[in-house]
């Protein structure tokens, strides 16, 4: 049958961006049987050669190299496009791919303007080309489990949620010149919540954003920037000029978002100080509470009043809730024994995109979801520049009824309005 033939036909993938993330994600794609990597693109020739040689050495066909992503996108060699490039290239590359009618998956990052977010939406509405943000943490087992618990009413009404991207990136940023990494130039020139999606993507599903809820206002507050200067001044091998460089990006940016349902969301960017990694999810509901930083759950049903002052006794009890509430996706995935990339999330998010393209399903993380997440960065830059004044969160659905948005169903479904996949 033609349908089966289409399913069996290998996708020909063009890869844009061969930095650290691009290499890692391309490695996962190269292991797939349903996809050939036919073209790769980077602004640096040596990265192209490196990837061509790596794939050839692994027994795959040697992809054609491009230094201009527009050529890769328009090339007849490619059917689907993966954008792993620097943040600045995401929107123009995704827009070009959508206009070329080629399904496109793109790495996470904030936008540089609200106009760019609106452009993503309007080009998608013109073209309906499948486009999916690869927000891997939306497939994280903790995040998905907490969302299942929320949908089962464990937390009652959720009133407040915290999240964060709290990741000590001092080495990555301070070595940015050597490694040609875009974070360095961003941290030198820009001050905002520059990386909101890892925590806010899952939080959007938890709160039903773009379903029956929306963000209303956003306020961001930045500290001064001292972490990178201090790190550069005392760390061997780091460009000593960075000890006195003026970094625009504050060490900690705290952002408060209000929702149409009277909730608050607090997200934290904390990437240039000494600290352990965390996405810091907390859920504060009328009947229950979750805290990622000690992996505990407390509910009216499962805890006694005496537990209130004995939190330490149940640190780590989330393990039991994962057993009970993890989605079918994760049960199957764990049973299959394949866990690749960031504990498995990278494989899942890539597979979600490829499966949806092959089966002609709506994207589980769609352009409206991406636009809302990416809008946080320019909105936070504006609020920071106004001393934390609240700014209105624009309606990136253009007044569209969320119920009219096509939803992905099946194992990779993320929206609440989709058919439930948990048994």
Q: What does the binding site for its own copies look like in residue numbers (CB under 8 A)?
A: 156-157, 159-160, 167-168, 171, 217, 219, 221-224, 226-227, 230-231, 250-252, 254, 256, 258, 261-264, 266, 270, 273-278, 284-289, 291, 293-296, 298-300, 303, 305, 307-312, 314-316, 387-390
CB of 274 to its own copies, least distance (A): 5
Cβ-based nearer residue to its own copies, 88 or 314: 314
- Provide the token pair at 232: 């550069």
Cβ-based nearer residue to its own copies, 207 or 367: 207
Cβ-based nearer residue to its own copies, 308 or 419: 308
CB of 277 to its own copies, least distance (A): 5
Phi then psi for residue 223, to 5 deg, are: -80, 175
272 burial (CB, 10 Å; 0-12 / 13-18 / 19+) is buried
C-alpha to C-alpha distance for 189 and 286, rounded to whole angstroms? 42
Cβ-based nearer residue to its own copies, 310 or 420: 310
Cβ-based nearer residue to its own copies, 80 or 242: 242
CB of 200 to its own copies, least distance (A): 16
CB of 270 to its own copies, least distance (A): 6
CB of 221 to its own copies, least distance (A): 5
Closest Cα to residue 144, out of 417, 341, 416?
416
C-alpha to C-alpha distance for 284 and 108, rounded to whole angstroms? 26
- Are 16 and 106 in contact by the 8 Å Cβ rule? The answer is no
CB of 144 to its own copies, least distance (A): 20
Which residues have C-beta within 8 Å of that of residue 96, sequence separation ≥ 6? Answer: 69, 70, 73
C-alpha to C-alpha distance for 345 and 282, rounded to whole angstroms? 20
Which residues have C-beta within 8 Å of that of residue 88, sequence separation ≥ 6? Answer: 112, 182
At 290 the three-state DSSP class reads strand
Cβ-based nearer residue to its own copies, 26 or 259: 259
């Amino acid at each position: 049958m033609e349908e089966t033939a289409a399913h069996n036909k290998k996708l020909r993938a063009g890869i844009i961006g061969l930095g650290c993330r691009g290499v890692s994600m391309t490695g996962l794609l190269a292991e797939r049987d349903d996809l050939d990597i036919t073209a790769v693109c980077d602004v640096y020739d040596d990265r192209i050669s490196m990837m061509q040689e790596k794939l050839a050495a692994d027994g795959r066909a040697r992809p054609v190299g491009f230094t201009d992503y527009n050529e890769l996108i328009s090339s007849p060699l490619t059917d689907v496009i993966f954008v792993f490039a620097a943040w600045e290239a995401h929107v123009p590359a995704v827009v070009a791919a959508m206009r070329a009618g080629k399904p496109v998956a793109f790495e996470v990052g904030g936008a540089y303007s609200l106009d760019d977010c609106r452009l993503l939406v309007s080009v998608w509405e013109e073209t309906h080309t499948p486009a999916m943000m690869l927000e891997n943490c939306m497939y994280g087992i903790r995040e998905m489990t907490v969302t299942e618990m929320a949908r089962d009413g464990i937390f009652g009404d959720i009133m407040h949620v915290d999240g964060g991207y709290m990741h000590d990136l001092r080495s990555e940023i301070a070595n940015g010149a050597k490694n040609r990494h875009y974070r360095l130039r961003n941290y030198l020139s820009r001050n905002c919540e520059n990386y909101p999606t890892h925590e806010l993507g899952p939080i959007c599903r938890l709160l039903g954003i773009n379903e029956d809820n929306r963000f209303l206002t956003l306020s961001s507050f930045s500290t001064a920037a001292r972490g990178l200067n201090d790190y550069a001044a005392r760390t061997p091998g780091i460009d000593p000029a960075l000890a006195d460089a003026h970094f625009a990006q504050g060490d900690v940016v705290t952002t408060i978002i209000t929702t149409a349902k009277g909730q608050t969301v607090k997200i934290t960017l904390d990437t240039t100080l000494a600290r352990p990694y965390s996405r810091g999810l907390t859920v504060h509901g009328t009947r229950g509470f979750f805290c990622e930083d000690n992996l505990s759950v407390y509910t009216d049903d499962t805890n006694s009043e005496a537990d209130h002052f004995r939190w330490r006794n149940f640190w780590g009890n989330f393990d039991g809730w994962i057993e009970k509430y993890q989605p079918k996706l994760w049960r199957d995935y764990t049973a299959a024994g394949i866990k690749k990339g960031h504990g498995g999330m990278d494989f899942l998010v890539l597979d979600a995109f490829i499966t949806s393209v092959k089966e002609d399903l709506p994207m589980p993380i769609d352009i409206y979801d991406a636009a809302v997440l990416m809008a946080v960065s320019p909105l936070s830059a504006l609020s920071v520049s106004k001393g934390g004044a609240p700014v209105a969160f624009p309606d990136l659905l253009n007044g569209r009824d969320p119920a009219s948005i096509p939803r992905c169903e099946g194992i990779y479904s993320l929206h609440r309005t989709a058919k439930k996949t948990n048994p």
